[in-house]
Amino acid sequence: MVKLTGKKTQHRKGLAAIYRQEIIQEVTLFTSQSAAVFYDKLFSSLDFTLPKAATGRCGFPKEAMLCAFLVMKCEGFSQITDLADYLDNNRLIAHYCGFDIMKSLPSYWTYDRFLRQMDNSELKSVMADLVRQLYKLGIVDASFIGLDSTPIMANTKQNNPKSFVKDKFSKEAHPKCDPDCALGVHSASNQHNERRYEFYWGYKSHVVVDCISGLPLYEQTTPANIMDSTVAVDILAAADQTLSLHGCSFLADKGYDAKNIYNTVKSVYGGDAFIPLKKRRTKRDSLPAGNLICDAGLAMHKDGKTTDNGRTRQKFCCPFRQSKRGICPCDHKNWSNGKKNRGCVKYKTVPTDYRLSIDRTCLSFKRTYALRTECERYNSRFKASGQERLWVRNGNSVANLNTLAHISALAVALAAVLYGSHSYRAPKSFRRGA
């Protein structure tokens, strides 16, 4: 075996560098210019370092693997095979990711192993750094935040509408291919006058969204059987570690109508909650304006308040209490009592908790709550990145893919701001401006 001297080694490395430059010049012919410029700007704006810098038998950098999955989310791929084929056919983009294109690129199993073994907290750290960078640039803040969840379908045959599996949505028939998923339910109709729900096996992605910029601030993945209201407080606490939520306006739908959420927003963060009331199965004895209804079905009038033993009650009286002419429709026993004020009297305890003290009929509440539609728009863009149904079969891989999708949205926004583009809401719009 001939041992190379130092000069020969340097000469060989120099030739390899020249060959690599020539190869890069050649691969540009097979990649669209807009895509090349887009990913060059996207990855140039990122600055992060992950622990344990290499993964796989060939020692692929973790940073390069993460960038590859950002390509997957930006292109809207739902399957890893699509990502592998795309990078094989676009070596220039693989070069921008950080791979050595003179060697073999990662295989399907390398990508799959990366998702299974990657610690989700490391990805959350990258996401938090991007949020802080956008905050310093004045793009995001926590003045108006919204919390919402979106269903993630597991890769099981039970979720196939053409499947003939018996009792496929029974709790006893848990899919064997994905032991981490759970049985959940989601709304199958956006019509206000139509209620239609569907069961599914899978997960949920809970995301805190800045309702002004439409960008995510924090994300957490849970099994599909976890109720939104049970994890809201913990999610807010984790989001507060990334960006202070002090004085925020918290917007959410009826699924988050719980006392502990209201109290947390008010007492812990000093903010205001904008959440509609969930209809309870109780007897309706009052009008939307708050007036009680008498036994005859008439709206009663307010007649002052009384306070005793630390309890405040609102008094309501008959609308015809001082009428000299009139007949009680229900012939109430107090109608002909011979007194000046006739008719029935009712009392209603004035609530002291923050949840019931909110005036949801005022214009300020309605205008602020209208900002929550930004959460719906973001979830739509989130699903467009291939997240509606994932082709992996374990909880950690699903959580990592969800976090990577949110990271891609933040990375696109950061690149758009740094390079003077305002089209940062979606990769396609930013690519057209690149």
User: What is the DSSP track for 398-416?
Assistant: HHHHHHHHHHHHHHHHHHH
| Cα maximum dimension of the chain | 123
List pLDDT tens digits, range 201-210.
Answer: 999 999 999 9
Confidence at residue 282, expressed as pLDDT on a 0 to 100 scale: 47
DSSP state of 71: H
Rounded Cα gap, residues 182 and 150, in angstroms: 14
CATH of 138-277+370-394, one of 3.40.50.12780, 3.30.420.10, 3.40.190.10, 3.10.105.10: 3.30.420.10
Query: Is 381:427 a contact under the CB 8 Å cutoff?
Result: no
Confidence at residue 1, expressed as pLDDT on a 0 to 100 scale: 39
Query: Is 343:260 a contact under the CB 8 Å cutoff?
Result: no
Spans of all domains in the chain = 6-118, 138-277+370-394, 284-353
Confidence at residue 7, expressed as pLDDT on a 0 to 100 scale: 59
**Ramachandran area for residue 297 (φ above 0: left; ψ -120 to 50: alpha; else beta):** left
Confidence at residue 357, expressed as pLDDT on a 0 to 100 scale: 82
Place of tokens 């599914």: 200
Confidence at residue 4, expressed as pLDDT on a 0 to 100 scale: 46
Q: Taking Cα atoms as reference points, which of 431, 429, 407 lies closest to residue 127?
A: 407
Q: Which residues of the chain have pLDDT under 50?
A: 1-4, 29, 281-282
Amino acid (one-letter) located at 105: L
